[in-house]
Amino acid sequence: MSESEVTRDGIRGARPGRHALVGKGMWNGERPGRKARKGGKGRKGDQPMVPRAEFTSYYGRPVLNPPTWHPRDIAGYFFLGGLAGAGSVLAAGAELTGRPVMARALKVSSLAALTGSAAALINDLGRPGRFANMLRVFKPTSPMSVGSWVLAAYGPMAGAAVASDLAGRLPRTGRAATVAAALLGPAVASYTAVLAADTAVPAWHDGYRELPFVFVGSAAAAAGGMALLASPVAENAPARGVALLGTAVETAAAKAMERRLGVVAETYREGRAGRLMRTAEALSAAGALGGALLGRRSRTAAAVSGAALLAASACTRFGVFYAGMRSAEDPKYTVLPQRERLDARREGSRDG
């Protein structure tokens, strides 16, 4: 029992120095009565009693449910769709400027890429009927619905353009189909970025401003690479320009996205995604510069540069995919940005 007792006049018999210090003692080594320094820090070498917060969740489960998408199917769907859409745009330009070999090669590659893209999507969905079900209703607010209808309209146009070119029949119809596919091409190349950004996955959702430019630039570089790979030197001048432009847009947009994303940008710099993004950057630069400097003289150099650009575009799409998966699995990429936005709103309300 304590020798002190509480009376109406206060505490009787308490020994000196035994009073509880309300609000004190929050730092190791802090002596009673010593004030903490400004900012809540104690003396040099003091450590906080409360451990640093760990970003975990109940039973160690992620805050978000990561998408159940398969990397080969969805990242391949991203890459092949971009190649198809951008290839149709470049094919129309080649046809209108009198480059028949390039035009035919890009028409065929675009139709093949579209077929592969649709097959990857259907394989991920599980059965073809699920894609058909998405065409039952048109919802302008749904990227998936809009994208499904764009693909449904683009496919027949790309097919008609190839059939007319290979058969040598109905040239006017074939040219009209080529132009129609080119008009739909940018939407085919970019809507997958909007689709990804419409999810709750931090690395995709928070990059909604720049991700479409990353995808469009990557698609343009891939189309330029395909043209360099399949066209004669005499016709590949537009391909070299498109490859340079696409590489510049993709690189600038990716760098801007990383600067703006803050802590979430780690998912694009580290791990498997980081390795893929760095590989894509190196291959894009090598392919674009090689095509521009050597592709005008050497058919072999043009083909090698084109293959490098295609590989770079594929690495970009897989890198973006894996960055998204990692950001969904780690709680801190959900919690920290939310806290930062909340703090910014509070600061704004105080200033207002």
C-beta neighbour count of 304 within 10 angstroms? 19
User: Which pLDDT value is given to residue 329?
Assistant: 85
Contacts of 319 (CB under 8 A, 6+ apart): 268, 272, 273, 274, 275, 276, 277, 280
Burial class (CB in 10 A: 0-12, 13-18, 19+), 167: exposed
User: Which pLDDT value is given to residue 270?
Assistant: 92
Cα separation, 264 vs 165, in Å, equals: 47
User: Which pLDDT value is given to residue 108?
Assistant: 96
User: Which pLDDT value is given to residue 15?
Assistant: 54
For residue 138, give Cα distances in angstroms to 133, 194, 251: 11, 17, 34
Q: Which two tokens stand for residue 344?
A: 């910014």
User: Which pLDDT value is given to residue 80?
Assistant: 94
Contacts of 222 (CB under 8 A, 6+ apart): 79, 82, 83, 86, 87, 246, 309, 310, 312, 313, 314
User: Which pLDDT value is given to residue 337?
Assistant: 72
Q: Which DSSP string do the residues of 39-83 spell out, in sequence order?
A: TS--STT--BSSPPP----GGG--SS------HHHHHHHHHHHHH
Q: Which two tokens stand for residue 288?
A: 């674009």
Cα separation, 144 vs 152, in Å, equals: 12
User: Which pLDDT value is given to residue 336?
Assistant: 72
List pLDDT tens digits, range 194-227: 989 988 899 999 999 999 999 999 999 999 999 9
User: Which pLDDT value is given to residue 6?
Assistant: 46
User: Which pLDDT value is given to residue 248?
Assistant: 95
Give alpha helix (H) positions in 57-170: 71-96, 100-125, 128-133, 143-167
Cα separation, 63 vs 57, in Å, equals: 6
User: Which pLDDT value is given to residue 95?
Assistant: 93
In this prediction, the residues of the chain whose per-residue pLDDT falls under 70 are 1-67, 128-132, 134, 340, 343, 349-352
Pairing of strands 10-12, 5-7: antiparallel
